[in-house]
Structure 1
Amino acid sequence: MHRLTRWATAAALVLTAVAALPAGASAATAAAHSCRAATSLGRVRGMPQEGRCAYLGLPYAAAPTGERRFRPPQPVVPWRGTLEATAVKPGCPQDLGAGGTGTEDCLYLNVWAPQASRARLKPVMVYLHGGADELGSAADPVVDGGRLAERGDVVVVSLDYRLGILGWTELGGLDPAYAGSGNNGLRDEVAGLCWVRRHIASFGGDPAQVTVFGQSAGGVSISALLAGDRPERLFRRAVVQSGPGYLVHTADSARATAAHVLATGGIHGVADLDRLTTRQVLELQQRAESGTSGPAGAVFFGPYIDGSLVPGPVVERVAAGSARRVDVMTGTTADETDFWAMFNPRLLDLPLSAYRAIPPVLAPRRQQMYDRYAANRPGLPEGRVVNAMLSDQIERVPTLRLAEAQSRWRPTYVYRFDWHVPYVPGLPAAQNLGAMHTLELPFVFGTLVLDAYPRGPQTVAGQRPALTAMSGRMMDAWTSFARAADPGWPRYTADGRATRIWDLEPSVRHAPGEDERELWDAYDFPAWDGRP
């Protein structure tokens, strides 16, 4: 099969063609005419958006439909005339209720660029969305890139990639011609980054100054790419938000997950899968995942160590210098697993006896570890303490391992997001949640869309000036890192462990939670093996 494993080199810069305006043209007409670009694929017309241009729904790869289903992404065919890039495209197929949503023709991206003169090319930030590699979309209003582009004077890109069975199921066991298909979602992301390197100069972006940033599943993909062959050919800097390399799957795990999916659907050949409609694929996916929930359900799909695109375990590869030419910033939220308690409040009551996910090498010390965590959280119920341990196992500690490994080679920075919707005494525990997974996103993008969180909209309405100021500081840090590899706090090193704490009043702490981090030293966090 054809493999998309060649990294793109910087392409020749293509200057934007701007139509001449008649004398006396209105400001609105001038803005509309300024939102034009000429690429080697064809001309593009975007839309003015509060002092910037939004180019929405640009194809970065051919539609993965028909004979291209379950195949690596293929190049876009150039178009004639002018492509109207004024509306976002539906995301990739995903189950968001009865019938699901999205379309298999989904390999599109969006570009937000300042309208100012393009004489000076601007840094580029490419966002990979989260959603457990089975949900999410670049069209999510929480991650609209317009405000970030305008405040930071950068070009922001977001893209969709194949999800679930269609993007992350290894079919090489059915047909060797499909070997590696379990990383097709990752290949989509690589194709999008290649598109950026080749064409972003047409939109005022500097292809030599690309920062990729992603949260959750998007962050895990970035971690996987950092373990690849010379990732600097795709991007110069990377921001990994709650997406540690520990969650990149082993090959055995990927094969077992695929076997489970195929057995669930009685699939005996790729032709059987090809005959399924999109809705039938989503129904099969739902049946295969039944019984998984919480953090475990969030890693059912994902990139895996295939020996080529992802040659080996992330931290091991990064420690050996795989990303020695890439600057990295990474971090987590303070209470990651509270996110899943929104959907299953019983997770907050998880007793220590049910904490079976702890690595076997640490299982004999489980009670000792719990006692340390509990001593640091006096008065909290057992379930809350266990969730703190689980958050550290899945997110914080492996994130710090990545940072420590990369700090040997390049400037590396670590943050922790501590702000949360204020607690209200007397409410159920599931309504009083901490700094959960995903909560930093409305602040990084400046959208302040907190509709998905308990009491989020009311909190924004009551604290808008303070939250806007905090969001502005975070946007400045992300864009400063993209521009100069310096977000504004000291570098992370194994001896100092400087960490930016994001709250209404930000601070820098050295080695926060060190006594708990040390409890995990006996485990090397190699790769996720979550065989169904």
Structure 2
Amino acid sequence: MFPGMKALRRRIGAVVAVLALALGMVAGLPGPAGAASRAGCLVRTSLGRVQGAPEAGTCSYLGVPYAAPPTGARRFRPPAPPAPWHGVLPATVAKPGCPQDLTDAGGGGVEDCLHVDIWSSRAPGGNKPVMVFLHGGADVYGSAGDSGYDGAELAARGGAIVVGVDYRLGVLGWTELGGLDPRYAGSGDNGLRDQIAALAWVRQHVRSFGGNPRDVTVFGESAGAISIDALLAGHQPERLFSRAVAESGPGYLVHTRDYAQAVASRVLTAGGIRSIGQLDSLTTQQVLLLQQKAQNGLSGLAGAVFFGPYIDGSLVPGPVVDRIAAGSARNVDVMVGTNENETDYFAMFEPAVLNYPLSAYRSFPAVLAARKQQMFDVYAADRPGETEGRVVNAMLTDQLERVPTLRLAEAQSHWRPTYVYQFDWHVPYVEGLPAAQNLGAMHTLELPFVFGNLDLGRVPRGAATVAANRPALTRLSHDMIGAWTSFARSGAPGWPSYTAAVRATRIWDLRPSVQDAPQENERALWNDYSFPDWDFLA
């Protein structure tokens, strides 16, 4: 889609929706409860009526509350049910996301942020598959309203209902305060509780928007995928969703209890906080400044995983892969995947990342230290002509993302057919440019293809590449949308399932293929490493 067209279409849709709402107020209620008016996208839920905006092939409903505002006495409490409303709830304009750091000078978002954005396919019939998206952002930034997560194209092309979720971030969503006041035990997983509340809301209300509440798929990327891993390790996740897609989010990054307590201690110490009352007295801006202070001095990797879900023994009973191996998700269809060059993402912020020598690879597992050079040599032999820094990043991608993800897939495959993909497409390299201008299939790069917006404006030469290759890239996007929505409908995305014996993997590139055990010699180098829960604060 051309730049600006989506925003223009949404403004036009909002005007049409207002006119339709005015006509509805004159003519009375729409048709049967739960049926979306094709003219005005007006639906009736058990909480009240909701007015959306028509778009090409969809109705969008933006900023619909799934929980009560987490403000005042609810600030560090689990989410409470939303209150019904009178009249018609206008849902034609995106609402702010949850509070988050945006610049060194300040943050954005509002604390009254527990909303969902819904894009409903206007294809005939109901009982459409439902796809609930949990955004990434290191659990400190991001919003369902981000333009890259606009679900209109995915919903329209896939004949689905797409739901984006806003959930509490940073200090407000992921700080365990039980040590400060026992009444707040479990607050370190409030972001996860928000997601659970949103999924429960979807199960209860999505039929009003044309969706099938028994056909819900949760999908997420990065921090959102890590939350999905935590949910899969919980008690009977099938009560919330039937299927799950985790994109670039290894389950080993779900925190331990000790880690969560260390994060809380760092936060409270940074602000000299000794009581819940002190925390409650802080303004939103002061909370964000406290959060920033707590993260000052952390390495890039420690900062990226500082906040997030943790193993509390109840909501998340134990380590993710152990729980999945024991059958916690035996009734859930699972698809997982990673991108070929995940860590290239960080070079957009710190170009030196791609030039790190082997000696600077400090997060390499100590138990494998004797094999470090040997492993490097194997990776280097598979990448003739690559720089030392590129080879180190390939190893780091496998340590942080690919191999742990395959461990989860293997654990789940004992209980249910499980599917694995790898996203390999990237902006073509240009000889002579600095390494940070020649990025591979980095973290997050699959998202513009899954959502169908092909917005690569932040990737070096991304917009020009799309302009020059739109037909081919559109075909790749359509193939991926077809796979994601096929999985949402049936639990089968269109390629063989993954097993330890075959390791069938869908490779996403301009010519998608299925490969058995890609980069197997590299994966096998990690066989003796158990991937314990990492402690990046040590």
470-479 or 375-384: bigger deviation: 375-384
**Stretches of 4+ aligned residues off by more than 6 angstroms:** 18-22
Residue type of the alignment partner of 2:525: L
| 1:220 match: secondary structure | helix
Question: Is there any run of 5+ residues in structure 2 with no aligned partner, and where?
Answer: 1-22, 28-35
Query: Could you tell me how far 1:288 is from its partner in structure 2?
Result: 1.3
Paired position in structure 2 for 1:196: 202
Paired position in structure 2 for 1:227: 233
Paired position in structure 1 for 2:421: 415
Distance in 2 of aligned mates of 1:471 and 1:116: 20
Q: What CA deviation, in whole Å up to 9, does each residue of 1:170-210 have, x standing for no partner?
A: 11111111111110001000000000000000000000000
**Preserved CA contact (<8 Å) 1:252 1:529:** no
Paired position in structure 1 for 2:151: 145
Match of 1:177 among 168, 174, 183: 183
Paired position in structure 2 for 1:254: 260
Query: Could you tell me how far 1:31 is from its partner in structure 2?
Result: 6.2
| 2:244 match: secondary structure | strand
Distance in 1 of aligned mates of 2:90 and 2:355: 52
| 2:217 match: secondary structure | strand
Paired position in structure 1 for 2:464: 458
Paired position in structure 2 for 1:441: 447
| 2:308 match: secondary structure | coil
| 1:136 match: secondary structure | coil
Matched ranges for 1:288-327 at <5 A: 288-327=294-333
Distance in 2 of aligned mates of 1:420 and 1:379: 18
Paired position in structure 2 for 1:116: 123
Residue type of the alignment partner of 2:204: R
Residue type of the alignment partner of 1:291: G
Distance in 2 of aligned mates of 1:377 and 1:404: 27
Distance in 1 of aligned mates of 2:46 and 2:277: 36
Paired position in structure 2 for 1:215: 221
Query: Could you tell me how far 1:246 is from its partner in structure 2?
Result: 0.9
Match of 1:468 among 449, 474, 479: 474
Q: What CA deviation, in whole Å up to 9, does each residue of 1:35-77 have, x standing for no partner?
A: 1111111111111011210011100001111110111111101
Distance in 2 of aligned mates of 1:230 and 1:31: 36
Residue type of the alignment partner of 1:259: S
The number of equivalent residue pairs is 508
| 2:439 match: secondary structure | coil
Residue type of the alignment partner of 1:101: G
Query: Could you tell me how far 1:238 is from its partner in structure 2?
Result: 0.3
Matched ranges for 1:17-166 at <5 A: 33-97=39-103, 98-118=105-125, 120-166=126-172
**Preserved CA contact (<8 Å) 2:58 2:122:** yes
Match of 1:380 among 375, 383, 386: 386
Paired position in structure 2 for 1:263: 269
Paired position in structure 1 for 2:18: none
32-41 or 45-54: bigger deviation: 32-41
Distance in 2 of aligned mates of 1:513 and 1:35: 48
Distance in 1 of aligned mates of 2:25 and 2:493: 39
Q: 1:32 to 1:483 in 2, by over 3 A?
A: closer
Query: Could you tell me how far 1:32 is from its partner in structure 2?
Result: 6.0
Query: Could you tell me how far 1:263 is from its partner in structure 2?
Result: 0.8
Distance in 1 of aligned mates of 2:138 and 2:123: 37
Q: What CA deviation, in whole Å up to 9, does each residue of 1:486-517 have, x standing for no partner?
A: 11111001100000000011011000011111
Residue identity over aligned pairs, in percent, reads 68
Q: What CA deviation, in whole Å up to 9, does each residue of 1:72-97 have, x standing for no partner?
A: 11110100111011111101111111
Query: Could you tell me how far 1:371 is from its partner in structure 2?
Result: 1.4
**Preserved CA contact (<8 Å) 2:38 2:122:** no
Query: Could you tell me how far 1:21 is from its partner in structure 2?
Result: 11
Question: Is there any run of 5+ residues in structure 1 with no aligned partner, and where?
Answer: 1-17, 23-29
Paired position in structure 2 for 1:3: none
Residue type of the alignment partner of 1:363: A
Distance in 2 of aligned mates of 1:472 and 1:449: 14
Query: Could you tell me how far 1:292 is from its partner in structure 2?
Result: 2.5
| 2:101 match: secondary structure | coil
| 1:95 match: secondary structure | strand
Distance in 1 of aligned mates of 2:532 and 2:481: 32
| 2:312 match: secondary structure | coil
Matched, 1:363 2:372: no
Paired position in structure 1 for 2:407: 401
**Preserved CA contact (<8 Å) 1:315 1:526:** no
Distance in 1 of aligned mates of 2:331 and 2:26: 44
Query: Could you tell me how far 1:227 is from its partner in structure 2?
Result: 0.3
Q: TM-score, normalised by structure 2?
A: 0.92
Residue type of the alignment partner of 1:102: G
Distance in 2 of aligned mates of 1:21 and 1:271: 49
Query: Could you tell me how far 1:293 is from its partner in structure 2?
Result: 4.1
Q: What CA deviation, in whole Å up to 9, does each residue of 1:221-280 have, x standing for no partner?
A: 000000000000000000000011011011111100110111111111111111111111
Greater RCO structure (CA 8 Å; 6+ sep): 1
Query: Could you tell me how far 1:104 is from its partner in structure 2?
Result: 0.7
Residue type of the alignment partner of 1:309: L
Q: What CA deviation, in whole Å up to 9, does each residue of 1:439-485 have, x standing for no partner?
A: 00000000001111111111111111110010000000000000011
| 1:100 match: secondary structure | strand
Distance in 2 of aligned mates of 1:261 and 1:302: 14
| 1:292 match: secondary structure | coil
Matched ranges for 1:337-356 at <5 A: 337-356=343-362
**Preserved CA contact (<8 Å) 1:261 1:285:** yes
| 1:193 match: secondary structure | helix
**Preserved CA contact (<8 Å) 1:110 1:158:** yes
Query: Could you tell me how far 1:335 is from its partner in structure 2?
Result: 0.2
Q: What CA deviation, in whole Å up to 9, does each residue of 1:293-327 have, x standing for no partner?
A: 43332101110100011000110000000000000
